[in-house]
Amino acid sequence: MTRPIIAIVGRPNVGKSTLLNRLVGRRIAVVSDFPGTTRDRIFASVTWEGKELTLIDTGGWQAKPSSTLEQKVKQQVEVAIAQAEAIIFMVDARDGVIAADEELAEALREVSKPVVLAANKVDLASQEDRLGDFYRLGVGTPLSISAYHNHGIEALMEAVLAFVTPSAEGAAAGEEVKIAIVGRPNVGKSTLLNALLGDERAIVHEAPGTTRDALDTTLNWKKKNILLVDTAGIKRRGRLSTGIDYYSLVRSLQAINRCDVALLLIDAGEFITTQDFHIASYILEAGKGLVLLVNKWDIIPQEQRKEFKRLLEKRSNFMYYIPMLYLSAESGEGIGRVLPLACQVWQERQKRLADSEVDTAIAEAVESYPPPRAGTRRLKVFQARQDSSRIASFVLQVNDPKLVEPPYQRYLERKLHSQFGFGGVPLELIFTKKTKVAK
């Protein structure tokens, strides 16, 4: 599923993070938070009125950055603007227009992206008369909102949704398998791509991808159409060079949103980093298949490999169902196993189970380990089935969804994985309240 990217931009302290928190925390189905390079929360994938979106919360834009850090933040805002399908430009209604607002408005006019101007901190109806000043920014009609008090949010999102292309499943296009190669810079993504194409030269075509310097490559592999979503070749572009990690992160996000299965490449020489886990978490929360590829395996001495694998499996135990492959893209070791494993995970995503199988498995899991009590009440599961309209999704009818604790949900997910496989595929459990049937 491809999620349109919406960037939230503005100078410091206008309420960008408050707006993100509001959108994530109220009346929407939260999919994930994706920690970034300079802030605790920078990406959030959400569903608003049935449309799936990815929001990017950026740092504060400074008209004249006074430090290297402020300059990097400004460059990262530019990257987010370049990659977004639409932009929420936030200003502070109480302060009126200041120099930083004017400079950012000028930058937004130059990129010709759809902009929704949100005048934040309008907490009272009597403050509406402060909006007139913002028309001179030249980016459209200002909408009055209060992110903190939840005023005007629905009108704001209605304006945003008018500019974006609705997300859609890319399933039935002739069984095309979309595989993204993602990872931090310099882990060997380009080398892996070249190695995969070097063995399979049945290239059908090359088509421009969604980013300016990426090419998607289609190849035919064992009678399957494989679309390799390329996130390699991230170029250092002038003033964006210092924000290269952020640029990589945004591009990886786009590739993940478009793919069926993500190949997450890590560098064996660096073990596994926090940023690797951030990317893995986003892949899983986005409901995509995942294969973890440990590249540069040839540099690890033979006597250290067993301990390396033990430590990696221990540190990544939350990904117990994710297949791992040790390889060297440069030497070719393990390359022949990459596409078969990715297609196997893709096949697992297509798996459909009979309602009776799912219901029996959940009933046995509950009987084996009953849910803990919450006060005087205990969760009861009446019926379980696979949701035919969503990939690897299961609907459980319960007495009260509020009684579902995260540890117990993870327990049920582990049981389903154990019994039915779904290797490399995150499972989504949806708990709904059992409704009484009228007599």
Please write the tens of the pLDDT for every residue from 355-404. 999 999 999 999 999 998 888 888 999 999 999 888 899 999 999 988 99
Determine the average pLDDT of the residues in 349-357: 93
Q: Please tell me the predicted confidence (pLDDT) of residue 247.
A: 61
How many helices (H) and strands (E) the chain has is answered by: 11, 19
Distances (CA, A) of 413 to 142, 268, 362: 45, 29, 10
Calculate the CA 370 to chain-centre distance: 33
Q: Check residue 166 and give its pLDDT.
A: 59
Residue 279 near residue 252, CB atoms below 8 Å = yes
Does residue 64 surpass a pLDDT of 80?
no
Mean pLDDT, range 66-70, rounded to an integer: 74
CATH architecture of 5-161: 3-Layer(aba) Sandwich (3.40)
Look up the pTM and report it.
0.66
d(CA 263, CA 226): 13
Residues 6+ apart with CB under 8 A from 101: 10, 11, 91, 134, 137
Segments of 328-405 assigned E as strands: 373-374, 377-378, 381-386, 393-398
Q: CATH assignment of 355-433, given 3.30.300.20, 2.60.40.10, 3.30.70.260, 3.40.50.450?
A: 3.30.300.20
pLDDT at 201: 36
What local confidence, expressed as pLDDT, does residue 34 receive?
A: 42
Q: CA separation (Å) from 377 to 199, 283, 372? A: 59, 35, 9
pLDDT at 167 over 60: no
CA distances from 101 to 67, 71, 77, 336, 407 (A): 19, 16, 13, 53, 45
C-alpha pair distances (Å), 228 with each of 43, 179, 193, 218: 24, 5, 8, 6
- pLDDT band for 246, please (50, 70, 90 cuts): low
In the numeric block, which tokens belong to residue 215? Answer: 């090419």
- Residue 279: its pLDDT value, please? 85
Does domain 176-349 fall into CATH 3.40.50.300? yes
Do 355-433 and 5-161 fall under one CATH topology?
no
Question: Would you place residue 175 in the very low, low, confident or very high pLDDT band (cuts 50, 70, 90)?
Answer: low
Mean pLDDT of 102-128: 86
Domain ranges of the chain: 5-161, 176-349, 355-433
Strand ranges in 353-406 using DSSP code E only, listed in sequence order:
373-374, 377-378, 381-386, 393-398
What pLDDT score does 41 carry?
Answer: 41
For residues 258-281, give the mean pLDDT.
90
Whether the per-residue pLDDT at 239 is higher than 70: the answer is no
**pLDDT > 90 in the chain, percent:** 41
Determine the Cα–Cα distance for residues 430 and 70; give it in Å rounded to an integer.
42
Mean pLDDT, the chain, rounded, equals: 81
pLDDT over 60 (residue 195):
yes
Identify the pLDDT of residue 278: 83
pLDDT score for 39: 38
Query: Residue 269: which pLDDT band, with cuts at 50, 70 and 90?
Result: very high
> Of the candidates 108, 41, 110, which has an alpha carbon nearest to the alpha carbon of residue 118?
108
- Least confident piece of the model among 91-105, 242-256, 332-346: 242-256
Per-residue pLDDT for 323 more than 50? yes
Q: Average pLDDT of 308-316?
A: 92
When comparing pLDDT for 215 and 313, which is higher? Answer: 313
